[in-house]
Amino acid sequence: MSIADNLLAFTFAATLLTLTPGLDTALVLRTATVEGKQQAFRAALGINAGCLLWGAAVAFGLGALIAVSELAYNLLKYCGAAYLAWLGLNMLWRPRSSLSPVETDARTPSNWFLKGMMGNVLNPKVGIFYVSFLPQFIPQGHNLIAWTFGLVSIHVVLGLLWASILIGATQPLAGVLRRGKVIAWMDRATGMVFILFAARLAFSKR
């Protein structure tokens, strides 16, 4: 395939991946409906920063270690599962009924950025996906590092566009979705989703 064909094929495949509902979608939707678009954008930036970190790991060979080392894979997998379970249990056991000034202070945005980023960084399947998927779209004889970052950047742009659509879709209902009972329900529902993803990750195989 030509370079243009490679880019079009990757963009199509990455678009399908981005639109597939998963943990990232759940996190962005929950944050947008409960805490507003600014917090949700920070969560989305964190998620995509995690993609960039995995892209760097793959470009410089660290992702291959996760792909071939059972110990490295399992260590990262269980750390990721524990982190997701911790987030989920906190939302499930301590759901909020309102957004107090303490919960919306300047510290919250950085927390959501970190939560979004760590959710991806501690998921070895993202690394495995990049290791196995990206090389298929890198033309033979071209610079591996430059192409890896280029393809990951396309994935990140698609992710941010999709997050923007999700966040925008929640705004007309924001007043209803921020009522006390709805906030508590959203926290519990998202907590359950996180716990399910944690279990799925912990018991998953390559």
Q: What is the pLDDT of residues 138-157, one digit of tens each?
A: 887 788 888 889 999 999 99
- What average pLDDT does the structure give for the chain? 80
| Rounded Cα gap, residues 169 and 29, in angstroms | 9
Q: What pLDDT was estimated at residue 174? A: 63
Judge if pTM exceeds 0.75: no
Q: What pLDDT was estimated at residue 104? A: 42
Q: What pLDDT was estimated at residue 153? A: 94
Q: Poorest-confidence range of 21-30, 100-109, 131-140, 167-176?
A: 100-109
Q: What pLDDT was estimated at residue 206? A: 60
Q: What pLDDT was estimated at residue 135? A: 73
- Kindly list the structural domains of the chain, giving each domain's residue range(s) and its CATH number in brackets, ordered by start: 3-202 (1.20.1250)
Q: Poorest-confidence range of 37-41, 45-49, 176-180, 190-194?
A: 176-180
Cα 158 to chain center, whole Å? Answer: 12
Closest CA to 166 of 10, 80, 37, 15: 37
3-state helix, strand, coil split of the chain in percent (to 5) is 85, 0, 15
